[in-house]
Amino acid sequence: MSLADNIEERAAKFAERYKAVYAELGKVIVGHGDILHGVLTCLFAGGHTLLEGVPGLGKTLLVKTLSEVLDLDFNRIQFTPDLMPADILGTNMIVEDANGRRGFEFQRGPIFTQICLADEINRATPKTQSALLEAMQEKRVSAGGTTYDLKRPFFVMATQNPIEQEGTYPLPEAQLDRFFFKLVVGYSNRKDLNEILHRTTTGAVFTPAKVMHGDEIREHQQLVREVILAPHVQDYIARLVLATHPEGEYAAPATNQSLRWGSSPRGAQTIALAAKVRALLGGRYNVSFDDIRRVYLPAMRHRVILNFEAEAENIDPDTILVEILKHVPEKVEEEKAA
């Protein structure tokens, strides 16, 4: 088998297995196709997901269903104002052995899993929220002077309610930047709402099957990184990120007018990896400009900060990002790119 045939076969297998996971999720989750694709993109790119939406839209159900479809360890952490970092990471406990001798032993917290649901993450204090930073970025936990590696793959899905502000602590920028995508869960349409009523009020039971294990997920994550990103396509990503920096060389008019801070390089990395997942799903082994545009909003909406004027006018970050997409051309002249 030639190298090209092998690549084509691996890409086809990825698309097939991806669709199998998507189909199992669809047995329980009605509608929200873009959200499902976003969550799976994060999973196969090796990132984490922040789900934002009003209560009752199925955010928690989605995470629990994903844990049932994937043969991975799963823990749920309900974030509350009195939750402490040790409640997440674990703590040293005094234990007694068979000979009656006592000593300290580290008792692992719920973060030691593979799929971690951080439910209502913005209800915990900043001190507790920060307990996730090292785990999300380096996939390890430091406690009592010792570092513990987390089992791979490791995937955090956090939920937050955007309407209740009393008793909540907005996620700081450093925490938000750890999330691969921010997905905004909207209301169901008429057709989907009728299907939800049918499924949940008639006694019908829909049980998804486990279709993928951890080793296979890691193989697919490695395949994603092997997808080709041509230099001119990569430069498009760079210019899209630079266009979010106010008063920068590539800043769009909407950027200078409405943004206080733009994206870090992590935003560019996110766009590149997410676009590679979309390319594989489309049966291609190279990233297109359209792949980039399709992942730009969820990758960037939590990585730009509005200025006072934009907040006062209630402008949504997505509105600014759409204007940036319109402003930045796919290609530039060779001398400008250099």
**Helix boundaries (H) for 186-264:** 190-201, 214-226, 231-242, 253-258
Q: Using one digit for the tens of pLDDT, what is the confidence trace for 18-30?
A: 999 999 898 888 8
Q: Give ∠ CA 254-259-260 in degrees, rounded to 5.
A: 150
- The fraction of the chain above a pLDDT of 90, given in percent, is 36
Give me the half-sphere count of Cα atoms (radius 13 Å) on the Cβ side of residue 45.
27
> 227-330 domain in CATH 3.40.1180.10?
no
Q: Is the pLDDT of residue 319 over 90?
A: yes
Question: Residue 179: what pLDDT?
Answer: 92
* pLDDT (mean) for 171-178: 84
CA 116 from chain center: how many Å?
A: 12
Mean pLDDT computed over every residue of the chain: 86
**How far apart (Å, rounded) are the C-alpha atoms in residues 295 and 314?**
24
Q: Using one digit for the tens of pLDDT, what is the confidence trace for 229-241?
A: 999 999 999 999 9
Question: Residue 217: what pLDDT?
Answer: 92
Question: Residue 325: what pLDDT?
Answer: 94
Question: Which tokens go with 52?
Answer: 């934002």
Whether 227-330 and 1-225 are alike in CATH topology: the answer is: no
Around Cβ 101, how many Cβ atoms within 10 Å? Answer: 8
Q: Is the pLDDT of residue 103 over 80?
A: no
- Edge-to-edge strands, sheet with 155-160: 74-78, 115-119, 155-160, 49-52, 181-184
Q: Is the pLDDT of residue 315 over 50?
A: yes
**How far apart (Å, rounded) are the C-alpha atoms in residues 105 and 96?**
9
Tell me which CATH homologous superfamily contains domain 1-225: P-loop containing nucleotide triphosphate hydrolases (3.40.50.300)
For the chain, the residue count is 338
Whole-angstrom CA distances from 244 to 18, 252, 303, 304 are: 32, 7, 9, 7
SS3 at position 108: strand
Question: Residue 266: what pLDDT?
Answer: 92
Q: Which residues lie below 8 Å from residue 124, measured CB to CB, with a gap of 6+?
A: 79, 80, 81, 83, 169
Question: Residue 279: what pLDDT?
Answer: 92
Question: Residue 127: what pLDDT?
Answer: 84
* pLDDT (mean) for 208-214: 86
Q: Is the pLDDT of residue 5 over 80?
A: no
Sorted by where each begins, the domain ranges of the chain are 1-225, 227-330
- The fraction of the chain above a pLDDT of 70, given in percent, is 95
